[in-house]
Amino acid sequence: MAGDGSAATLESTLRDLVRTLEPGARLPSVREIVERHQVSPVTVGKVVARLSAAGVLVTRPGSGTFVAAPPARARARRPDTAWQSLVLAGRSVDLGALREAPRDPVPGTISLSGGYLHRSLQPLSALASAMSRAARRPDAWDRAPAGGLPALRSYFAEATAADVGLDDVLITTGGQNALAMAFRAIGAPGDAVLVESPTYPGALAALAAARLRAIPIPLGPDGIDPDDLRQAFARTGSQLLYCQPTFHNPTGIVLSESRRQAVLEVAHAARAFIVEDDYARHLSHDGGTTRSLLGHDVHGTVVQVTSLTKPAAPSLRVGAIVARGPVAERLQASRRVDDFFVSRPMQEAALELTSSPRWAGHLNGLKRALRDRHRILSDALRARLPEWEPVAGKGGGLYLWVRLPPNADPAEIVRRASEQGVDIESGQRFFPAEADGPFVRLSFAAAADSVALEEAVDRLAPIGAG
């Protein structure tokens, strides 16, 4: 083999080797593989972990790595499903930018990717108590109201700091479900939807699944420009804007206070809705948050989406949509048709968590932790990778959005980072159309601690401009 240190090449070599061996045969040791194929131990560890996860190898600590027995499923008779392709033709779900993510964690790799808190930042003990209190309630397994538990709807209504009540809130299974519901409720297939560029890939995937066309609006340091927005509404005839005005993913940008009112006025003049993704309300690094678009809205223009997965944990799949008027009725109806209501124990657990005194303590600690991690990662990049230029966010969120040198290829940088044992994300998938230059997104919340963040930058430093 070429001995080029590539995990992909080593993986295919090991797969070839496995094909020549019997189940249960022992693989060469890590040291032998390192010497024979001129790759680093990190690469070997990563490839072995990947092949173990795929059921090709089995690792027994202390004795070595062995060829796995073929899984029962592979031996079972598989039906001939070719006919399905014809029946389903033209109705595929376009995963779009979600296709790349999420990846399985590879042991030894430092993850700076993904949009959730590392376990070390999650309120695990408060979650455990909330879950067990919720499960002990005698009505825990009863039906829940279609809109959600009233007390939980109240919590979300209050958290908006806007003039809304619990009747305006619909409980969802997280933010992604809320976005998909909102896009389907507002848009008809073929409609144009204005989006910030770059933006959250999950929103692009939800738009594509609803057969809506994403039209990019450039994002400046103060957010989108109301004049650009006015022109885009006029040019496309769109009646929907999707945006993240507060600690935008991936850039961390905040739509300035002075532009918020203007954006609302422009949307109202176009008789357009705004889906405001307020995913980062609790992810401010200094405690300050600007009033949401919903807080300024007097026409029912804003449909706000929010979720507990970001400040708590990815599997606390509870979020909310706040909407007023016929769109709210449509959303309530679609909840009933889709799945009646959100699982009651999950709602009870979310309620227990958010009403416990530990919740405020957790949010405070989280702010400090995110601020420290943001600083540590920025400082380390400045010192060891000065050619990578973080775009200045506005003191919130989970990410550094980093501009690479002009000729860098983000896909190649991500591949090389992976070889060095660091998982990062290419910026390309955040753009609805052509990318505005080469970028990567680094999540400072995904790593275990500050030592891991510094170690990650040490590993990335040799990559430089690619």
Ligand X SMILES: Cc1ncc(COP(=O)(O)O)c(C=O)c1O
Stretch in the footprint of ligand X (CB under 6 A) among 15-23, 306-314, 330-338, 422-430: 306-314
Cβ closest to ligand X, residue 319 vs residue 410? 319
CB 393 within 8 A of CB 402: no
What are φ and ψ of residue 416, in 5° steps? -70, -35
d(CA 154, CA 355): 11
The set of long-range contacts for 373-381, using a CB threshold of 8 Å and a minimum separation of 24, is 373/444, 373/445, 373/447, 373/450, 373/453, 374/285, 374/400, 374/444, 376/444, 376/450, 376/453, 376/454, 377/442, 377/444, 377/453, 377/457, 380/453, 380/454, 380/457, 380/458, 381/457
Q: Is residue 311 involved in binding ligand X (CB under 6 A)? A: no
Q: Is residue 309 involved in binding ligand X (CB under 6 A)? A: yes
Stretch in the footprint of ligand X (CB under 6 A) among 47-55, 59-67, 173-181, 356-364: 173-181
For the segment 48-107, give every residue that binds ligand X (CB under 6 A).
none
Name the E strands within 212-301: 213-218, 240-243, 273-277
d(CA 68, CA 81): 27
Q: Is residue 246 involved in binding ligand X (CB under 6 A)? A: no
Q: How far is the CB of 230 from ligand X (least distance, A)?
A: 24
Q: Is residue 244 involved in binding ligand X (CB under 6 A)? A: yes
- The DSSP annotation for 22-45 comes to -TTPBPPPHHHHHHHHT--HHHHH
Cβ closest to ligand X, residue 187 vs residue 250? 250
Cβ closest to ligand X, residue 202 vs residue 395? 202
Q: How far is the CB of 131 from ligand X (least distance, A)?
A: 18
Cβ closest to ligand X, residue 238 vs residue 309? 309
Q: Is residue 175 involved in binding ligand X (CB under 6 A)? A: yes
Q: Quick one: which of 115, 198, 397, 410 contacts ligand X (CB under 6 A)? A: 115
For the segment 188-207, give every residue that binds ligand X (CB under 6 A).
200, 202
User: From residue 252 to residue 291, what is the string marking binding to ligand X with x (rule CB under 6 A)?
Assistant: -------------------------x-x------------
What are φ and ψ of residue 364, in 5° steps? -65, -45
Stretch in the footprint of ligand X (CB under 6 A) among 4-12, 171-179, 227-235, 350-358: 171-179
Q: Quick one: which of 147, 174, 393, 410 contacts ligand X (CB under 6 A)? A: 174
Beta bridge partners of 192: 213
Nearest Cα to Cα of residue 295 among 311, 309, 306, 308: 306
Sites of contact with ligand X (CB under 6 A): 115, 174-176, 200, 202, 244, 249, 277, 279, 307, 309, 314, 319
